């Protein structure tokens, strides 16, 4: 019975695993915010992710899948919107709001994804699914909403408004990218490594094109400089390996084996996983935050109950 549950819940387990990894990398990325601009962070992490995936594919001997042009187009467009645009907006929100609030706004991706999947993929969710998503989002919001008055007061600034705008844009981009990925993955038997590689490659290509066009337009006579010169490559590499490579592959696995809205709801539980990390780092965690975690995982239980 337990084995059957694991098999039937493969997509949900992959989504939860991705969420736990992204909780860790959000803390790391927030610390890098003063040293790396959002678009450089996206480009650097995606590039490192590509290298890791290519090496893994070569090591495992996974051949290039036979895909129809429509599926390839969906995956490439998913990378442009869900990685190039969305991740850049997310890093900007992360730098403005901090990990908890930035991840709170990412919970909007779940209902956005469910609505888009319902409209364009004709995915139907049961009442239990919707209830589970709602309870999960309430729990996550309760976790992140736990802020002391001084911190809340200090964030009442244009920086807060900017962070909210970029956070919402990131959620919308993630939702569109998720639906496009789901549309491609349900039509093929592509390995998650290859689908992640295609998405990352498309995102990196657009970012590099934008960089060189901007450089030629604004600094045509400036000497060639390294894009990533002077950056903390060791820390970024660790974050990219786990967040982009491992987390990205797990996310693609979730999209392949469960409904888009369910996968995104579970991927949005990262804030709940931040609390154990915070406690391990010696931070004080309030009873309200713990209550929020329990609510979030009650919602997860409802989502897992659909299988």
The DSSP annotation for the chain comes to -HHHHHHHTHHHHHHHHHHHHHHHHHHHHHHTTTTS-HHHHHHHHHHHHHHHHHHHHHHHTPPPP---HHHHHHHHHHHIIIIIIHHHHHHHHHHHH-HHHHHHHHTTHHHHHHHHIIIII-----HHHHHHHHHHHHHHHHHHT---HHHHHHT-SHHHHHHHHHHHHHHHHHHHHHHHHHHHHTT----HHHHHHHHHHHHHHHHHHHHHHHHHHH-TTSPP--TTTT--HHHHHHHIIIIIIIHHHHHHHHHHHS-HHHHHHHHTTHHHHHHHHHHHTT----HHHHHHHHHHHHHHHHHHTT-
Q: How far apart are CA 146 and CA 271, in angstroms?
A: 11
pLDDT for position 60: 87
pLDDT for position 204: 94
Q: How far apart are CA 162 and CA 145, in angstroms?
A: 18
Q: How far apart are CA 251 and CA 15, in angstroms?
A: 6
The residue ranking higher by pLDDT, 19 or 117, is 19
Residue 148 banded pLDDT, cuts 50, 70, 90: very low
Task: Give yes or no for residue 139 having a pLDDT over 90.
Answer: no
User: How many other CB atoms sit within 10 Å of the CB of residue 128?
Assistant: 12
pLDDT for position 306: 53
Task: Give yes or no for residue 272 having a pLDDT over 70.
Answer: yes
Both structure tokens of 142? 């309760």
Task: Give yes or no for residue 288 having a pLDDT over 90.
Answer: no
Residue 207 banded pLDDT, cuts 50, 70, 90: very high
Of residues 83, 76, 45, the one with CA closest to residue 195: 76
Q: How far apart are CA 286 and CA 257, in angstroms?
A: 36
pLDDT for position 80: 96
Report pTM.
0.78
Q: How far apart are CA 115 and CA 123, in angstroms?
A: 9
Task: Give yes or no for residue 279 having a pLDDT over 80.
Answer: no
Mean pLDDT score, 211-232: 59
Task: Give yes or no for residue 57 having a pLDDT over 70.
Answer: yes
Q: Lowest mean pLDDT: which of 41-45, 62-66, 154-158?
A: 154-158
pLDDT for position 307: 46
pLDDT for position 301: 74
Task: Give yes or no for residue 116 having a pLDDT over 80.
Answer: yes
Mean pLDDT score, 134-150: 68
Greatest CA separation for the chain: 67
pLDDT for position 229: 52
The residue ranking higher by pLDDT, 279 or 63, is 63
pLDDT for position 193: 86
The residue ranking higher by pLDDT, 114 or 171, is 171
Q: How far apart are CA 96 and CA 99, in angstroms?
A: 9
């Amino acid at each position: 019975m337990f084995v059957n549950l694991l098999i039937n819940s493969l997509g949900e387990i992959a989504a939860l695993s991705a969420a736990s990894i992204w909780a860790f990398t959000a803390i790391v990325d927030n610390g890098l915010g003063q040293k790396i601009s959002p678009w450089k962070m996206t480009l650097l992490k995606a590039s490192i992710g590509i290298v890791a995936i290519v090496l893994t594919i070569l090591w495992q001997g996974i051949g290039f899948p036979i895909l129809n042009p429509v599926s390839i187009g969906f995956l490439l467009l998913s990378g442009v919107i869900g990685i190039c645009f969305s991740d850049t907006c997310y890093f900007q929100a992360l730098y403005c709001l901090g990990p908890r609030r930035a991840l709170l706004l990412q919970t909007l991706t779940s209902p956005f994804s469910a609505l888009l999947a319902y409209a364009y993929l004709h995915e139907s969710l049961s009442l239990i699914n919707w209830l589970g998503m709602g309870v999960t989002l309430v729990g996550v919001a309760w976790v992140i909403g736990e802020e002391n008055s001084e911190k809340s007061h200090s964030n009442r600034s244009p920086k807060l408004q900017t962070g909210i705008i970029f956070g919402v844009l990131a959620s919308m981009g993630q939702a569109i990218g998720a639906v496009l990925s789901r549309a491609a993955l349900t039509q093929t038997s592509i390995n998650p490594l290859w689908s992640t590689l295609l998405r990352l490659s498309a995102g990196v290509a657009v970012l590099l094109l934008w960089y060189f066009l901007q450089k030629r337009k604004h600094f045509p006579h400036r000497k060639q400089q390294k894009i990533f010169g002077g950056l903390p490559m060791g820390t970024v590499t660790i974050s990219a390996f786990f967040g982009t490579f491992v987390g990205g592959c797990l996310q693609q696995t979730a999209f392949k084996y469960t409904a888009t809205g369910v996968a995104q709801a579970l991927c949005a539980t990262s804030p709940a996983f931040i609390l154990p990390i915070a406690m391990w780092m010696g931070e004080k965690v309030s009873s309200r935050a713990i209550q929020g975690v329990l609510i979030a995982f009650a919602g997860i239980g409802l989502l897992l109950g659909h299988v």
